[in-house]
Copies of this chain bind each other. A is one copy, B any other.
Amino acid sequence: MTTTPELGLPMPVPAAEGLPTRVRIHEVGARDGLQNEKATVPTETKAEFIHRLAAAGLTIIEATSFVHPKWVPQLADAERLFPLVRDAAPHLPVLVPNERGLDRALSLGATRIAVFASATESFAKANLNRTVDEALAMFEPVVTRAKAQDAHVRGYLSMCFGDPWEGPVPLPQVVRVCRALLDMGCDELSLGDTIGVATPGHVQALLTALNDEGVPTPSLGVHFHDTYGQALSNTLAALQHGVTTVDASAGGLGGCPYAKSATGNLATEDLVWMLTGLGIDTGVDLGLLTATSVWMAGQLGRPSPSRTVRALSHKE
């Protein structure tokens, strides 16, 4: 990464034994971060956001979602947006809920898609109006057809730790759905702590349970929310377990509408700060990324919840 001492970057110390030397950040700000915004963000603003994220060094930038516009009005411009950003970054995954969404994504040249499952019945019902197994059945042909087109497929799994209706989620329940997503052909999973209740021991217990059932760590990414301020320590626990794919949202944009709090996704800047200090390569220029989040906060009309963004942008 570019060294920008005037930003007060942390002093890098060689990574402790057992930590990865490189982490792939899966940037979700443009999709997960924006999808719950009430006011419509112009397509051109989204495109500029994605181009700026790429210029800051992010290589996996989730661009949009090909769900029915009725469900996520903010992302109704997917058809118009995707061609504007298709060449912005090496990897531009898009969310697809079903075969119709897959057709739309593939027809525009998408090469990475993601499906969105739930570990709990309550959230499957609330989010997809299906049982967990009905949702898996809906995704199966999507994954099969995407793989037949050589697309990379990510499986999101929500509510891997706690569920607002069901409380703590039993590990075997999470393992079962992970197994099903991998068996149908997903290349990678993203374990979501949708309401932000996880803690480091819980994270390591889930990862161990998955390994014990034959799910290899390289197929696992983590997606933590900062609702209770736990996202970064949970990430550290996952890194210590060997995880090398971490989801984060520039400026901490977004969150789960079911978690009653202003705070949501782990901020990419807070993550990059920690990784830089740990001597872990991310390829991200923290100065450019922070400037991007400050600019986006201006577009949205409210300050970024990222502590790193706030601290760096308050520097004299």
Question: Does A14 lie at the interface of the complex (its beta carbon under 8 Å from any beta carbon of B)?
Answer: yes
Determine the chain B residues whose CB is within 8 A of the CB of A279 once the complex forms.
Answer: 201
Per a CB cutoff under 8 Å, which of B204, B273, B278, B314 touches A261? B314
Q: Report A180-230 residues with CB < 8 Å from chain B CB.
A: 195-202, 204-205, 226-230
Question: Does A289 lie at the interface of the complex (its beta carbon under 8 Å from any beta carbon of B)?
Answer: no
Determine the chain B residues whose CB is within 8 A of the CB of A235 once the complex forms.
Answer: 233
Evaluate contact between B228 and A278: CB separation under 8 angstroms: no
Interface residues of A (CB under 8 A from B): 5, 8, 10-16, 19, 161-162, 164, 167-168, 195-202, 204-205, 226-230, 232-233, 235-237, 259-263, 267, 270, 273-274, 276-279, 306-308, 310-311, 314-316
Evaluate contact between B162 and A10: CB separation under 8 angstroms: yes
Evaluate contact between B202 and A13: CB separation under 8 angstroms: yes
Determine the chain B residues whose CB is within 8 A of the CB of A306 once the complex forms.
Answer: 229
Secondary structure at the A interface, as helix, strand, loop or mixed, is loop
Which 3 residue pairs are nearest across A and B when measured between Cβ atoms?
A199-B277, A11-B168, A229-B270
Q: How far is the CA of A10 from the CA of B195 in the complex (A)?
A: 11
Query: Can you identify 19 A-B contacts, CB atoms within 8 angstroms?
Result: A5-B167, A10-B161, A10-B197, A10-B198, A10-B230, A11-B161, A11-B202, A13-B205, A15-B201, A197-B277, A199-B278, A226-B229, A229-B306, A230-B232, A230-B274, A261-B311, A262-B314, A263-B310, A263-B311
Evaluate contact between B168 and A310: CB separation under 8 angstroms: no
Q: How far is the CA of A256 from the CA of B111 in the complex (A)?
A: 48
With both beta carbons as reference points, the residue of chain B lying nearest to A227 in the complex is identified as: B311
Determine the chain B residues whose CB is within 8 A of the CB of A195 once the complex forms.
Answer: 8
Evaluate contact between A200 and B277: CB separation under 8 angstroms: yes
Evaluate contact between B277 and A198: CB separation under 8 angstroms: yes
With both beta carbons as reference points, the residue of chain B lying nearest to A197 in the complex is identified as: B10
Determine the chain B residues whose CB is within 8 A of the CB of A204 once the complex forms.
Answer: 16
Q: How far is the CA of A311 from the CA of B259 in the complex (A)?
A: 8
Q: How far is the CA of A83 from the CA of B74 in the complex (A)?
A: 58
Cβ distance A204 to chain B, nearest Cβ, rounded Å: 6
Cβ distance A282 to chain B, nearest Cβ, rounded Å: 13
Determine the chain B residues whose CB is within 8 A of the CB of A308 once the complex forms.
Answer: 228-229
Evaluate contact between B307 and A201: CB separation under 8 angstroms: no
Q: How far is the CA of A230 from the CA of B261 in the complex (A)?
A: 20
Determine the chain B residues whose CB is within 8 A of the CB of A237 once the complex forms.
Answer: 236
